[in-house]
Amino acid sequence: VSLRISALARGIVQGVGFRPFVYRIALAHRLVGWVRNGSNGVRIEVQGDPAAVEAFLNDLRHQLPPQAAIESLDVADAPLGSDTTFRIVDSAVEDTVQPAIPADLAICADCLFEINSPIERRYHYPFTNCTQCGPRFTIIEGLPYDRPRTAMQAFPLCDACMAQYGDPLDRRFHAQPIACPACGPQLSLLAADGHVLATTAAALQEAAEAILAGQILALKGLGGFQLLVDATNDAAVARLRQRKHREAKPFAVMFPSLDSVQAHAKASGAELAALTSDEAPIVLLARREAPGGDRVPLALSVAPQNPHLGAMLPYTPLHVLLMSRIGRPVVCTSGNLSEAPMVIDTPEALATLGHVADVFLVHDRPVVRPVDDSIAVVRPDGLALLRRARGFAPKPLRLPAPQPTTLALGAHLKSTMALSLHDQVVVSQHLGDLHSVEGATLLDRTVADWLRFFAAQPEQVACDLHPDYASTRLAETLAARWQVPLIRVQHHHAHVSAAIAEFGLAGPVLGLVWDGTGYGTDGTIWGGEALVCEGADFERVAHLLPFPLPGGERAVREPRRSALGALYAGWGHAGTAAAADWFTEAELKTLTSMLDQGVQTPTTSSIGRLFDAVAALTGLHLKAGFEGQPAMALEFAADGIPTNGGYELPLGDGLPAIADWRPLLKAIQADRRAGVPVGVISARFHGALADLAVAIARRFGSRHVVLSGGCFQNRRLVSLAAERLSLAGFQAHVPRLFPPNDGGIALGQVFVAGRRHAGEPPDQRLNT
């Protein structure tokens, strides 16, 4: 007796060696039939002895290749066929596209061995890959995932590669990006004016020598251009900062080896595991004051006044080969200007980075879409992403229920977009800030890219409540063009909802959302919010006592303005006397009169701005090189200092309850006068915020409390608040798979739009 079954496997089943695996286990159990990629998943039909079919299904579920994950496996009996062998058959394009695009994977141990082995034909070949590693998302142009629908279509396979591609027992069996020196992409080294200086191995060697000579290299990597410079050469790093217009924001560093990482930073087992994982993100590590052994220290300008270090290891064969020739740590940062999107093609790179980089190491494999390096931290609860891109995007997240196809366009900074498809949502890779034309264009392009990719037609569009975000304007245009509903989601509501989606929370959830800026339903700037969220609905139950920001947006760059606004709100003209040292007499006069008249002084309840005010009051930062720098300085000042007590930060009785920072600022001023060290002040300030979180949870929370918003990237604040909430009987949830900063907003918007459609009451019980 023979049995035939037909199975549909969905999940991460393409681009991970899944079909070869199916082939091998079918052979092992002496079954006939076929396996085929479809845009809807992988379809398998096998036939043979019923016990063998059973054993096959068991292996299918439990012996998966490391990168594969089966989300669902539908198995049904099928009529017997006449197959005499087991085959891998051509892919079929089906109607509904499932969101299962593989992410890019760091080079595997087998390929690493091969490129270092002189007897192999891929010895020193920078585009080596296999079914277990290599480019995926950055080369895929359409589904199903097959070579003709990738950037590799321009590289016909040589006979030797074709033999490997077709051999079920080879680890490159059906590896779509397969390549070798004879048939694959090649390197060139270009001068800034575009003329070719060298090719292939010589290009690599000369690029390494340029770095060692202190030059800036633009490298066409996996997901776009990167800028590389010797991290031990202060003048070279300073030149990169100056040319890239990046004053103070820390640079990430690529290390030639794990040994080298450990010489410069302290990494726990979990942090080492993250560095060497298939996703290979940048991991924020604690820096050693002096490097171990006889290592040359990193240049001060790599990460000024920062006890952390963003570290990564080479993750493509190209990076491996380049780093082994350089042999020392290298600054490795996105190839862009300021916060504009990463440049992906060579002519564009020569045009925009021509005055930044001295030489360009490029290749002829197109980058289909920009994918930046991901950034992660290891917290006690596991790896948490601060920037979600390479290795993680576009892995889908399952929603609690199917919902109409929803396109969400996210926020304005650290932008991402999201698309729901049935009961799953795919969130784009980090797209960068939307200030620039390039940023807004990339968002536009990404929308078109994804809709084509997934053959999706949105039934609703979601965006932020902020009227002036480029993402909001695009959403308005698209909703009008498609004649579908536009759902505007309040910024902090979206933050909490993203975490509700990630952790699958149900029922009313208290969310504490502390960040820099978000448009409130009353038109003021929110950012120190406590929202009780349920379905599509939220209630603002508590917030920080609002204060004015003289000059509005400029306060982000000048913490002294936040401090002045708070002092003025707290104590009027008497309060502003303390600000006399921070401004010239004329400046102070202008700002005070703005405050008196209420012109250009938007009101905010932002904890991000309270951090700024405290940083100014403690003398750490009167001006900031980038948003978040003052808060980081405060966090770092408290390193190694235990939090004993916290300042008083009382929560009023009303609804919403107001958290009054006036006693806190008074106490900080008194401590300053008494000569209390800044680190101790900072520890007490963090303590006050953690106590506030507990006070709000006690009054308005049930079991689950979400902590989100940019302020919760602060590790001291996160661990302190989570620990105190837990002692008080609450369970804190801090986003991990999606960033707590505005990179998570698009996901929250999709979730809220889905709940609103599900018939949840649309009217928000607002207390503003």
Tokens of 314: 């080479």
111 vs 330 by CB, closer to Zn ion: 111
Examine residue 433 and tell whether it contacts Zn ion (CB under 5 A). Answer: no
Task: Name which of 755, 753, 766, 768 is nearest 488 in CA terms.
Answer: 753
Distances (CA, A) of 497 to 82, 535, 536: 52, 9, 9
Residue 641 binds Zn ion (CB under 5 A)? no
Smallest distance from Zn ion to CB 494, Å: 8
Comparing CB distances to Zn ion, the nearer of 111 and 302 is: 111
At 209, the amino acid letter reads E
Q: Does 183 help bind Zn ion (rule: CB under 5 A)?
A: yes
Closer by beta carbon to Zn ion, 68 or else 240: 68
CA distance 288 to 213: 26
* 158 in contact with Zn ion (CB under 5 A): yes
Shortest separation between residue 493's beta carbon and Zn ion, angstroms: 11
Query: Can you tell me which of 26, 35, 52, 180 binds Zn ion, judged by CB under 5 A?
Result: 180
Q: What is the rounded CA–CA span in Å between residue 211 and residue 214? A: 5
Choose between 114 and 558: whose C-beta lies nearer to Zn ion. 114
Q: Please give the Cα distance from 28 to 225 (Å, whole number).
A: 44
Candidate segments 92-100, 221-229, 472-480, 515-523, binder of Zn ion by CB under 5 A = 515-523
Least distance (Å) between residue 269 CB and Zn ion: 24
Exactly one of 28, 89, 92, 182 binds Zn ion (CB under 5 A); which one? 182
8 A C-beta contact, residue 360 and residue 217: yes
Stretch that binds Zn ion, among 48-56, 155-163, 274-282, 694-702 (CB under 5 A): 155-163
Q: Cα(488)–Cα(550) distance, rounded to whole angstroms? A: 28
Q: How far is the CB of 235 from Zn ion (least distance, A)?
A: 37
Kind and range of the H or E run holding 48: strand 41-48
The two three-digit tokens of residue 121, written as one number: 């034909």
223 burial type by CB count under 10 A (0-12 exposed, 13-18 middle, 19+ buried): buried
Q: Please report, in angstroms and rounded to a whole number, the separation of the first and last CA atoms in the chain.
A: 72
Secondary structure element (H or E) that encloses residue 526, with its range: strand 525-534
Q: How far is the CB of 364 from Zn ion (least distance, A)?
A: 15
Residue 529 as a binder of Zn ion (CB under 5 A): the answer is no
Q: Which stretch binds Zn ion (CB under 5 A): 84-92, 107-115, 333-341, 633-641?
A: 107-115
161: contact with Zn ion by CB under 5 A? yes
Rounded to the nearest whole angstrom, what is the least distance from the CB of residue 323 to Zn ion in the complex? 18
Q: Which stretch binds Zn ion (CB under 5 A): 330-338, 574-582, 678-686, 742-750?
A: 742-750
- 83 strand-pairing partners: none
CB of residue 530 to Zn ion, shortest distance in Å: 15
Least Å from the CB of residue 113 to Zn ion: 9
Give the per-residue contact string, 65-104, with Zn ion (x = CB under 5 A; - = no).
----------------------------------------
Asked if 501 interacts with Zn ion (CB under 5 A), we say no
Q: In this structure, are residues 723 and 689 in contact, taking their beta carbons and an 8 Å threshold?
A: no
The reply to whether 742 sits near Zn ion by the rule CB under 5 A is: yes
Span from 130-138, 228-236, 380-388, 692-700 in contact with Zn ion (CB under 5 A): 130-138
Subset of 319-358 contacting Zn ion (CB under 5 A): none
DSSP code, position 661? -
Helix segments in 90-180, DSSP class H: 109-115, 159-166
191 part of the interface to Zn ion, by CB under 5 A: no
Q: What is the DSSP string of 144-169?
A: S--GGGBGGGGSPPPHHHHHHHH-TT
Q: Please say which residue, 178 or 681, places its beta carbon nearer to Zn ion.
A: 178
Under rule CB under 5 A, residue 515 binds Zn ion: yes
Binding residues for Zn ion, rule CB under 5 A, total 13
Q: Which is nearer to Zn ion, 454 or 738 (CB)?
A: 738
* Alpha carbon separation from 768 to 464, 622, 656 (Å, rounded): 18, 31, 8
CA angle 728, 538, 737 (to 5 degrees): 65
CB of 730 to Zn ion, least distance (A): 22
- Establish if 163 lies at the interface with Zn ion (CB under 5 A): no
Considering only residues 271 to 330 of the shown chain, the ones binding Zn ion according to CB under 5 A are none
Q: How many CB atoms lie within 10 A of CB 323?
A: 23
Nearest CA among 633, 585, 592 for reference residue 611: 633
Rounded to the nearest whole angstrom, what is the least distance from the CB of residue 7 to Zn ion in the complex? 27
CB 81, min distance to Zn ion, A:
34
Residue from 133, 231, 322, 427 binding Zn ion (CB under 5 A)? 133
Distance of closest approach, residue 397 Cβ to Zn ion, in angstroms: 19
Is omega for the bond preceding 144 within 30 degrees of 0, making it cis?
yes
Nearer to Zn ion, 353 or 500 (CB): 500
To the nearest whole angstrom, how small is the minimum distance from the Cβ of residue 112 to Zn ion?
A: 8
Q: How do strand 359-363 and strand 217-220 relate by DSSP bridges?
A: parallel
Token code pair at residue 179 = 């390549």
The phi and psi torsions of 628 (rounded to 5 degrees) equal 95, -15
Residue 155 CA to its chain's centroid (Å)? 31
SS (HEC) of 64-97:
CCCCCEEEEEEEEECCCCCCCCEEEEEEECCCCC
Q: How far is the CB of 287 from Zn ion (least distance, A)?
A: 28
Which residues are paired to 659 by β-bridges? 544, 651
Which of 696, 758, 685, 757 shows the shortest CA–CA distance to 730? 696
In the complex with Zn ion, which residue's Cβ is closer, 108 or 211? Answer: 108
Give yes or no for a contact between 84 and 32, defined as CB atoms under 8 angstroms apart.
yes
Stretch that binds Zn ion, among 93-101, 181-189, 274-282, 412-420 (CB under 5 A): 181-189
Interacting residue with Zn ion among 31, 111, 408, 531 (CB under 5 A): 111
- Nearer to Zn ion (CB atom), residue 301 or residue 741: 741
Pick between residue 33 and residue 134 the one whose CB is nearest to Zn ion. 134
Nearest CA among 564, 500, 552 for reference residue 748: 500
Among 25, 44, 106, 130, binds Zn ion (CB under 5 A): 130
Q: How many CB atoms lie within 10 A of CB 110?
A: 13
Instruction: List interacting residues with Zn ion (CB under 5 A).
Output: 108, 111, 130, 132-133, 158, 161, 180, 182-183, 515, 518, 742
